[in-house]
């Protein structure tokens, strides 16, 4: 699995994951939408840690720096 995420992309996803988790646990977003945000937070965090976004792959998108 080749990485396709750059540093900025990973940081943005981690920040969004933290925001979504805070929104859920402070009960600002509740019910079904709270669980949707929690799921997105898990996906964003996981893709940040493995540096691979499965949605980028079929389209050939990469935010990672090119190797010389």
What pLDDT digit, counting tens, does each position of 13-27 carry? Answer: 999 999 999 999 999
Whether pLDDT at 1 is above 90? no
pTM for this prediction: 0.85
Cα 20 to Cα 29: distance, rounded to the nearest angstrom? 9
Residue in the block written with tokens 């940081």: 11
User: Residue 63 gets which letter from DSSP?
Assistant: -
């Amino acid at each position: 699995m080749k990485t396709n995420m750059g540093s900025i992309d990973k940081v943005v996803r981690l920040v969004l994951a933290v925001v979504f988790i805070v929104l859920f646990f402070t009960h600002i977003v509740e019910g079904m939408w709270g669980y949707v945000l929690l799921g997105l937070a898990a996906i964003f965090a996981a893709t940040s840690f493995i540096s691979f976004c499965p949605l980028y792959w079929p389209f050939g998108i990469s935010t990672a720096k090119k190797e010389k």
